[in-house]
Amino acid sequence: MSDIRRRAVYSRIMTTLDGEYVPSTMEWVRDQIDLYERSGGREGNTLRDSGIPVIVVTMRGAKTGAVRKIALMRVEHDGAYALVASKGGHDSNPDWYRNLTVHPEEVLVQDGPDPFPVTVREVDGNEYDTWWERSVAVFPTYLEYRAKTARRIPILVAEPR
């Protein structure tokens, strides 16, 4: 492959995932993602009227292989992002948790005008505690979600590639 072709393929991989985009079945999430993407992150960038910023995460479905998107709270530190699989304190992990653990390299984060590629990994131990504190500092409601469920809320960290 020529350098020019390789660069073209690489830059395409950098900002999109190939495949059919199948939007979330949750209307308010789907609408928020649409608005965020259409406006390049200028609108739809907070959780409802809370004023707390959100990001958009694009991934590959673990079973269907479809392109999936979610909105999440923006918990950023030194260019990395915590993806907190809280699902409102529900007793099961969100579907996206499995997607990200099965396809950790096929992930984009959008925090502003353009999405960029990240690698995702689950954190544990002291690293978990540190990211949990950062997450609660941004969105204290995570404490209520933790109190509601017996499961340990997973935290994945997304690092730019």
Distance CA 95, CA 84 (A): 13
For the CB of residue 9, give the shortest distance to ligand F42 in the complex, in Å.
Answer: 25
For the CB of residue 12, give the shortest distance to ligand F42 in the complex, in Å.
Answer: 22
Starting at the earlier edge strand, list the strands of the sheet with 80-84. 67-73, 54-60, 107-110, 115-122, 155-160, 80-84, 75-77
Q: Taking the CB of residue 145, how many other CB atoms lie within 10 A of it?
A: 16
118 binds ligand F42 (CB under 6 A): no
Which one of residues 34, 35, 53, 62 is an interface residue with ligand F42 (CB under 6 A)? 62
64 binds ligand F42 (CB under 6 A): yes
List contacts with ligand F42 (CB under 6 A): 24-26, 29, 32, 47, 54, 61-64, 66, 68, 70-73, 84-87, 94-96, 98-99
